[in-house]
Structure 1
Amino acid sequence: MANLPKATLSVLISLTLLSFFPATLSFPRLRSSRFLGKFSSFNNKGSLGAPPYRYETRYFDQNLDHFSFSDLPKFRQRYLINTEHWAGPDQLGPIFFYCGNEGDIEWFAANTGFVWEFAPRFRAMVIFPEHRYYGESMPYGSHEEAYKNASTLAHLTAEQALADFAVLITELKKNLSAQACPVVLFGGSYGGMLAAWMRLKYPHIAIGALASSAPILQFEDIVPPGTFYDIVSNGFRRESISCFNTIKDSWDVIESEGQKSNGLANLTETFRFCKKLESTDDLSNWLSDAYSYLAMANYPYPADFLMPLPGNPIKEVCRKIDNSPNGTSILQRIFEGVSVYYNYTGNAGCFNLDDDPHGMNGWNWQACTEMVMPTSSSRNTSMFPPYDYNYTSEEQWCLENYHVKPRPTWITTEFGGHGFKKALETFGSNIIFSNGLLDPWSGGSVLEDISETIVALVTEKGAHHLDLRSATTGDPDWLVEQRAAEVKLIKGWLDKYHGRKRTAFDM
């Protein structure tokens, strides 16, 4: 029996479906912001063939609130560190610092081979700090206490996390007499957002940042709200128009079947759920999860970043859907296709909808406070049911579940976003925004060069922060070239920094 990820999509951030079904029916709401958090928080330990990386696990006592002088309890922040290749303070050995996202830090370390593989070349120290309220880095001593209510969750913010990173780096460098050693930031997805924002907010602490698949523009009205689901849909349309149309038609079929007297039982049997479906919403959300994750993990080689998947998994899904025998129903075709995601190994006897082993409440909280990413689905270009963004319903959900109101304009107030080109050109430097256009989050990232030092590296066939993953023998040439470009830019930052230090010393 498989204990697979819970697929019910709550209504935190953005997506309310305006149903194309009859007025008496309704379609579940989807929320793409959920995918950003959930994608990053699966606690798998590495990808297929990923080498074990050596590190020491340490803990640092962090202030719960960096922005007040209240007498609050500290918490232990976990971080992973490797110094075996570090050149040391006398030679200004660099520090490669990964900005931990919303999940267990060991999982990020296992899936960020780029940092480990290039650290020896630069004789760099490697540090992977864990984001507060995730993994073992729990305030108030436990997950249960930290997540008890809005009061205990109040310090789960991006600002506090960045301050954690800044304090940790400062104290470590002080303890190692390494104050002059340059720091380079790395991050993917939300971690990439943190890396970019940290470079902008703390330029005296880090000399540059590689922000991979970082949707820093996915807020307010900076990008069209239909961008995310359009990109997911395009991934399937690109492989097969008939596959795209089958998925698009399936929602109506699912809803119609669910209205029959024995419809939910039939759907339960068709999709092999361990327990009887309580609504068609649960099935539709389960399917929507899979399609969106497939778009993000549409890597050119086999990987088990989320689930064990073949290379180019969308191609395999569409092959299953399109090549079913004549007379196969739409629902059976959809099941065969989605099984590529949920059961590629063939080991699952049935599927659970009510299993959430990865604890997404942390990201749900962030989505109900700061990470408000408006998203919609277009009737003409999306394979998902059409709906418009409805902030009011999202606010209501957050009030009911957390007793808080979202602040949809806070992120752009704190970190910028509107007029980002001029702002970054004027006030920023040394940031790489890397994106693959297969990744649905690329639509909310920076896709063009802003200046000579704020550079966009865009690949047509790349998926979600593929460049940060370990190098493999199956890497296509364009991926090898992308990583080489990143290394060249980082080397330029370090050479320039060391040149300035030598000049200052000679004077």
Structure 2
Amino acid sequence: MAVLTFGSSSDLKYVLVLVLCFCLSCDARFKGFRRFGVQSEATQHRRGADVVDYWFTQRLDHFNGADTRVWKQRYFINDSFYRPGGPVFLMIGGEGPANPAWMQYGTWLTYAEKLGALCFLLEHRFYGKSHPTEDLSTSNLRFLSSRQALADLAHFRVVVAEGRGLGASRWVVFGGSYPGSLAAWFRLKYPHLAHAAIATSAPIHATVNFPEYLEVVWRSLASYSSECPLLVKKASDTLSQMLKNPLLYSNITRDFQLCSPLQLDSFMDSAHFLEALAGNFMDVVQYNQDNRAFEGVVGTNITIKVLCDVMADASLGGVYERYAAVSRLMLHTLSQRCLDPRYSAFLHDITNTSWSGPGPAAGRQWVYQTCTEFGFYQSTDSPNQPFTGFPLPYHLQQCEDIFNMSAGGVEVCVRDTNECYGGYGLRATRIVFPNGSIDPWHALSVTQDLSTAMPAIFIKGTAHCANMYPARAEDLPQLGLARDHVYLLLQQWLKE
């Protein structure tokens, strides 16, 4: 890691800090940035009951001067820590509803209290209640992109600075997960607006095929028990073979508590079922032992240890029976009556273009972004991972089925994203990349210093966005040190 000399917080007068971060939970069918647990808008508002909605006017298309249409973007404010001349933090949402609980909890508020910061949370266009268009038709989703989101951020920053007399202040962008990428890219694309960036768990390299995600899942399971990923692999392989025999479908329907009798009419049906079961492990690994309960997330008690202990429990039967037991455990934990493995049901939901329909919960907007910008498809194309049956063509077929977008089109879009932002070749200054070793997304992020001006903080034993969550007594020592390191970097960079 880079060696830095840190100054005191008294040097931060007249400095404004913009914080971008986002980690939240969504439906189990959500693709891309995997989310474990179901978190409703009602739960969010119970957690942030005292937080008021505000609305900011944005242009629909920042890159077409002839298009004068505007819309209202939701944001929140916390001024309880603000001291005149102090910094301002802006937490920006990502691929789901902005959670007002972040205005009451989180490491960023610890920084805010120390620095006397005014805090904002800005919701991402097309997510939550920030509806730029009347529906989610494919023609309207053309206004959903990271580039438009960065332009939203720039406009918000300029208008807020002008309106509050903060134009001469320095701005620093923070982010976690997809908004971690946005944080790094905002510093890259708008250096006159962002003085520095903290990009937590941020995949900065777009790639169509991302089998490395599941390779990290293997290693993360093995960090608890070397036998665990072997048992999971054997179970997944066993089930994959059983799916070739229709005579076993009734048993599978019962054992995995399916909503209707299992019927596999195509490769997409079997791949969707196998991915759903693998997702039980993928989601738990991504958020293993992270302190997300304050968000209203259900299931934070399910950890790698819990799942591996089930897979090692011979009293349940063979590996197939244990795999089914994991699935039933997850259904019970999430208060779900049954598992619907049908690809046709997924398509029915995700092609619904109504804001009030099942499309947003199924991840329609984020799947669009993966097809048109990022890829990030967590395929089983590597031999060094524990699952079977959902290779890259399965993921690409979804782009075709949902958005009529060919595999070649996805390849071009992902290439364009890396050309726009630089991928691993990103060149900038004053960006730090915290990542957890358990988190599969670190495989597309930065875990070693790119330069002294772009250091990495690699936190062994922690998962996705762990350094952003509220601190607790049981946190690993290295997690506390990582939080402190980020704070000291802020002090150092804001003096430069």
2:417 to 411, 428, 432: 411
Partner of 2:355: none
Q: Is the 8 A contact 2:184 2:197 kept in 1?
A: yes
Q: Is the 8 A contact 2:28 2:36 kept in 1?
A: no
Matches within 5 A, 1:332-481: 332-344=321-333, 347-353=335-341, 358-373=361-376, 376-377=379-380, 380-385=383-388, 389=392, 397-404=398-405, 405-406=409-410, 407-417=413-423, 420=425, 423-424=426-427, 428-481=428-481
Q: Is the 8 A contact 1:244 1:383 kept in 2?
A: yes
- Alignment partner of 1:454: what SS? coil
Give how far 1:36 is off. 1.0
| Backbone CA RMSD of aligned residues | 3.0
Give how far 1:220 is off. 6.3
Structure 1 position 184 matched with structure 2 position 168 = no
- Alignment partner of 2:376: what SS? coil
Structure 1 position 319 matched with structure 2 position 279 = no
Matches within 5 A, 1:152-163: 152-163=140-151
Aligned length: 445
Q: Is the 8 A contact 1:87 1:123 kept in 2?
A: yes
Counterparts of 2:172 and 2:40 in 1: how far apart (Å)?
Answer: 25
Counterparts of 1:167 and 1:58 in 2: how far apart (Å)?
Answer: 16
Matches within 5 A, 1:70-469: 70-88=66-84, 91=85, 93-106=86-99, 109=102, 113-140=106-133, 142=134, 145=135, 147-148=136-137, 150-219=138-207, 225-279=210-264, 280-299=270-289, 303=293, 307-310=298-301, 313-325=303-315, 328-344=317-333, 347-353=335-341, 358-373=361-376, 376-377=379-380, 380-385=383-388, 389=392, 397-404=398-405, 405-406=409-410, 407-417=413-423, 420=425, 423-424=426-427, 428-469=428-469
Q: Is the 8 A contact 1:57 1:80 kept in 2?
A: yes
2:53 to 47, 52, 57: 57
CA, structure 1 residues 383+317, in 2 after alignment: closer, same or farther (shift >3 Å)?
same
Counterparts of 1:352 and 1:439 in 2: how far apart (Å)?
Answer: 27
Partner of 1:24: none
Counterparts of 1:38 and 1:196 in 2: how far apart (Å)?
Answer: 22
Give how far 1:388 is off. 6.1
Give how far 1:432 is off. 1.2
Amino acid at match of 1:85: F
Counterparts of 1:45 and 1:456 in 2: how far apart (Å)?
Answer: 37
CA, structure 1 residues 174+469, in 2 after alignment: closer, same or farther (shift >3 Å)?
same
Amino acid at match of 2:364: N
CA, structure 1 residues 97+39, in 2 after alignment: closer, same or farther (shift >3 Å)?
farther
Q: Deviations over 1:132-173 (max 9, x none)?
A: 010111112x4xx2x12x321111010000000110111011
- Alignment partner of 2:174: what SS? strand
Among all aligned residue pairs of Structure 1 and Structure 2, give the percentage whose two residues are the same amino acid: 26
Amino acid at match of 1:384: F
Counterparts of 2:61 and 2:382 in 1: how far apart (Å)?
Answer: 45
Give how far 1:42 is off. 5.1
Q: Is the 8 A contact 1:294 1:341 kept in 2?
A: no
Counterparts of 1:186 and 1:108 in 2: how far apart (Å)?
Answer: 17
Counterparts of 2:438 and 2:374 in 1: how far apart (Å)?
Answer: 22
Give how far 1:453 is off. 2.5
Counterparts of 2:340 and 2:217 in 1: how far apart (Å)?
Answer: 24
Give how far 1:396 is off. 5.4
Give how far 1:6 is off. 6.2
Q: Deviations over 1:253-311 (max 9, x none)?
A: 22333333442221111012233233344431221111111110112668486541327
Give how far 1:340 is off. 4.6
Counterparts of 1:476 and 1:339 in 2: how far apart (Å)?
Answer: 31
Counterparts of 1:66 and 1:40 in 2: how far apart (Å)?
Answer: 35
Give how far 1:330 is off. 2.2
Q: Deviations over 1:376-433 (max 9, x none)?
A: 435542112277645xx76654244213432121111111125x2xx52xxx111110
Partner of 1:19: none
Counterparts of 1:100 and 1:5 in 2: how far apart (Å)?
Answer: 13
Counterparts of 1:110 and 1:263 in 2: how far apart (Å)?
Answer: 50
- Alignment partner of 1:156: what SS? coil
Give 5+ residue unaligned stretches, structure 2: 1-24, 265-269, 350-357
Q: Is the 8 A contact 1:53 1:110 kept in 2?
A: no
CA, structure 1 residues 489+340, in 2 after alignment: closer, same or farther (shift >3 Å)?
farther
- Alignment partner of 2:438: what SS? coil
Q: Deviations over 1:453-507 (max 9, x none)?
A: 31100011110011111112222211111101111111222333xxxxxxxxxxx
Partner of 1:501: none
Q: Is the 8 A contact 1:376 1:389 kept in 2?
A: yes
Q: Is the 8 A contact 1:99 1:195 kept in 2?
A: no
CA, structure 1 residues 54+477, in 2 after alignment: closer, same or farther (shift >3 Å)?
farther
CA, structure 1 residues 95+226, in 2 after alignment: closer, same or farther (shift >3 Å)?
same
Amino acid at match of 1:67: F
Give how far 1:187 is off. 1.2
